[in-house]
Structure 1
């Protein structure tokens, strides 16, 4: 049997006749990592190979995640200059209503990422289009149910303790977001379908283009035409529909999707219930994460002086969400890398990818945390000119910096969970760490001490820290050979077009 050093010398040769380093393959790296020990001098080459693949996927995924989120970010910036009450109403609607839908849709779409990613790694392309269509059907069904919440959002916000004036403004904004709800229900599965097959650059170009147009459209609606809060919400809905239309045209007519998209199929309507159980586990996992942060914003509206409390924590949460969206781009790339390698039968490469991306994101988060602390006053002035809100935001920025640092690991490990199909397990972890431990701590510190908003945020930090530690332990204890076997079994049952309804083996 060859030693690790002999395998490295064979599979990691020096420069070729043209002075270039030969390109590695996943098969070669799997072979190298399977022969231990591997000398330290070979690791820079391996890390460089994995980092290159990761960033080819990540840069575009980050652009998609960040610029899609920036659509709402820009809208809130404009509403903030309409007045503190309008900003509070729009923020509550984004958090309590739109955030609810966002968690459900994004969570359901992670099932597409798991099954399509592993199918692509195993080169079983024909099932991917049907899975995407089935996901869209289920997403639209969820959107129909959520429409009632959007329409009666004022009553819902009052029921959870928001003031009448804030709830009324929130309802105006939420009703304008109903078209956006349906656009989101279609866009989420399409994005995951494309990302699973490493088609990310077109998604990035589309996201940036629509974002730039959205800035102009929002200025026209809010500033030039004075359409106010409703105009801002409807403009956001329009921009999301532009995303859907352009992404749909790309899938239908691009040669890149020729093997994975073979046209609309009635098979998308078969096996909806078993597939719903799969998407439900995915939705619960991510919903518990997303709703935790957003629930704390809603709780802050119950404090004394709710307008200042809501505005300050909403501004900080917007920046935290921006950071989360950046990391979600990396997490999406990690999910694709892990699911592709598991589908291809490469457990050691999947494990190696997790180590590389976690180290990378930790270093990035240290930089982001430093930026938050340095520019804490300037960040608040982008949203408001109210001195009280600016002071409140400045007081929260040290906690924001801690949260940013934790987000260098937590979303990435969630991406690993999605790529591996652990959604059900992580859902229980999120339930305990966030809602059984973190949320009660935040409520006690926020309402029973003088900390106020800061106390609520400390509760969030405790929950995220515990969840992160738990995910680290789960990932470290993972048997990646077993995960490959699970992926192979899942894909075997998906391969037969008549047995597509059996993909609920996760």
Structure 2
């Protein structure tokens, strides 16, 4: 084991926290130090999430200048890719929040590279059936009742996006590998470079090469793989990763089930939530005046997804902090990390909610010039602000779940919250109570409330000392001696 030479890495978060004794809020200095650490992590992680989110958004915006059919096809293909591919891969990769995070806290640095390689191997295998699904996007959409012309356009766009899925899978593993070491600024820089170059690549491939909408899909593939290349070079050559990345090893192909046991519930957690929001847009097409309802729900969903990147950054930060501290056997520090992030999420939700309410009468103009759409969006914004506040709390609580390794429990909570409470209530409010699109979103708010209550009860009842024991068992049960790796 590498118990020596552990003095520093390239960020202030590299050193493990000292054990915090006494009542959790008795030490103001401990609270402020934890706040500083989480802000140091969350700021760059929010930027990374937003920049990566912008890649597909930019591609669709360029396609929008080619015509209505091209825009509809690209939009549906992107949504289909998110539901069938990106959400699944993001969820599976988040198992590394637990495995890499706790190994790093326990100073078993060599295991981070093994876990990351194992995750890449599994995710690349998963990408093969996903690629087959994307290759048949057109027939699938047509079988689901979509317009044949738009389905054909979406199918073409999705086929050209197939290389994206493999790059995205590797990228998610790299992000978790670096995030759990608190190496976040290199990711922000690589994502920023990729996004700027993506604008140029999109312009060339869409308007200058004659590829049209297919060029936007190809540009997305180029950008994802460019980001993978930049992070690969950093991981390979940076001194900050010298102890955690020791090169590719056959040992990563062993104990694959250890990753799958966390990866599958992690994927279920993410997919169940994301699918429920996408289902709202589909259900809105069954309401009276479906064109208006679908447009407004799509605007609200896009707005919600954008502001969600802030609590998602906080969620990633607290997942790292809790997993590191549990691995380091600092239970009180892990509990403090959770309480600090809950206060941050509450403050963020209030501030963003106030902003959404203040801009409610003008926000619709960013998407449409139709007065009816703008007025409808204005009535939805207070509901959106409420959901953002509650969603932020559940997001950071879900991050704590990943840090502790409770993905299976989180999956069951999400299943009950969204599919036993949220979706049925959405249908009742929208179609039985005739509240329309507002009813759909209010049903999701109820699901979020149930999720927050369940996760809060679990966290309040958590024995953090017991969690450090479980983390120690997880780390050392999966540990491979350094001598074997050599």
Matched, 1:125 2:115: no
The answer to whether structure 1 residue 162 and structure 2 residue 146 are counterparts is yes
What is the alpha-carbon distance in structure 1 between the residues aligned to residue 109 and residue 72 of structure 2? Answer: 46
Query: Measured at CA, do residues 217 and 384 of structure 1 come closer, stay the same or move farther in structure 2, by a change above 3 Å?
Result: farther
Aligned CA-pair RMSD: 2.5
Q: TM-score of the superposition, structure 2-length normalised?
A: 0.90
SS at match of 1:495: coil
Residue 400 (structure 1) aligns with = 384
Deviates more, 1:427-436 or 1:76-85: 76-85
Within the candidate set 335, 349, 359, 2:319 is matched to 335
CA separation of 1:24 and 1:486: change in aligned 2, threshold 3 A? closer
Q: Given the alignment of the two structures, is residue 483 of structure 1 paired with residue 436 of structure 2, yes or no?
A: no
* Map 1:269-284 → 2, pairs under 5 A: 269-284=253-268
CA displacement at 1:294 relative to structure 2: 1.9
Deviations 1:252-311 (CA, angstroms, capped at 9, x unpaired)? 111111111111111122222343232112111221122221222233234455444333
State yes or no: 1:178 paired with 2:165.
no
The aligned counterpart of 1:229 is 213
3-state secondary structure, aligned to 2:94: helix
* Residues 239 and 86 (structure 1), Cα distance of their counterparts in 2 relative to 1, 3 Å cut: same
2:134 pairs, out of 132, 150, 153, with 150
- Tell me the TM-score normalized by structure 1: 0.87
The equivalent position to 1:209 in structure 2, one of 193, 199, 211, is: 193
How far does the alpha carbon of each residue in 1:88-110 deviate from its partner, in whole angstroms, 9 at most, with x for none? 44333333332331221111111
Counterparts of 1:38 and 1:26, CA distance in 2: 19
- Residue matched to 1:192: 176
Question: Does structure 2 retain, via aligned residues, the 8 Å contact 1:80–1:383?
Answer: no
Which 5+ residue runs of structure 1 have no aligned equivalent? 1-22, 501-506
The equivalences for 1:274-313 within 5 A come to 274-313=258-297
Separation in 1, partners of 2:53, 2:336: 30
Structure 1 residues 298 and 141, CA, compared in 2 at 3 Å: closer, same or farther? farther
Structure 2 residue aligned with 1:413: 397
Distance apart, 1:168 and its partner CA: 3.3
Shift of 1:421: 0.3
Cα–Cα, structure 1 residues 284 and 257, in superposed 2: closer, same or farther, change >3 Å? same
Deviations 1:98-154 (A, max 9, x none): 233122111111111111100000100111111111100111111111112111112
CA distance in 2, matches of 1:195, 1:107: 15
8 Å contact 2:206–2:214 — kept in the other structure?
Answer: no
Question: 1:381–1:176: structure 2 CA closer, same or farther, 3 Å change rule?
Answer: farther
Tell me which of 404, 408, 412 is aligned to 1:424: 408
1:331/1:414 contact within 8 Å kept: yes
- CA deviation after TM superposition for structure 1 residue 212, in Å: 1.7
SS in 2 for 1:409: helix
Q: Please point out which of 399, 411, 417 is paired with 1:433.
A: 417
Unmatched runs of 5 consecutive residues or more in structure 2: 1-12
Change beyond 3 A, Cα 1:219–1:389: farther
Q: How far did 1:35 drift?
A: 2.5
In structure 2, the residue matched to 1:57 is 41
What is the deviation of 1:24?
13
